[in-house]
Amino acid sequence: MKLEEKELKAALQQFENLIIELPDKRESIPEFKSFITAFLRTKTTAISLPIGDVMAIIKHKKPLVFSVMRSEYSKNIMINVVTHMDIEYSHAYRRLNELRRLLGIIKRF
């Protein structure tokens, strides 16, 4: 089975690039915040948006970025909600890899 979710595929490829290319430093926060905001607007037809899994990956791979976003953007309801999701990294990683496989994305991280 293959999914045809072009917007989601592009967003997940962008996410992968951010995880690989950006350091876990304060300077990376605006790009991650911008990505999260745009990702939440991603339209899907066949599946739910995997925001919890994306946030679990950020929390694990970029702990400084995640914790600073969580504290400094606590008054931003959207960032506050997604940074307080509690999903285990291994489950999130597995689900996201399966989704990427279904979308035809080659695994890079």
Find the mean pLDDT for residues 54-73: 97
User: What dihedral do alpha carbons 12, 14, 17, 19 form, nearest 10°?
Assistant: -60
Contact present, 102 and 2 (Cβ < 8 Å): yes
Q: Which helix (H) or strand (E) covers residue 41, if one does?
A: none
The pTM assigned to this predicted structure is 0.92
Find the mean pLDDT for residues 59-82: 96
pLDDT of residue 14: 97
Q: For residues 11 and 106, which has the higher predicted lDDT (pLDDT)?
A: 11
C-alpha span between 10 and 18 (Å, rounded): 12
Find the mean pLDDT for residues 78-105: 95
For the stretch 23-33, pLDDT in tens is: 999 999 999 99
For the stretch 1-17, pLDDT in tens is: 688 999 999 999 999 99
Domain ranges of the chain: 6-103
Res 109 pLDDT > 70:
no
* Neighbouring C-alpha atoms within 13 Å toward the C-beta of 63: 2
pLDDT of residue 23: 98
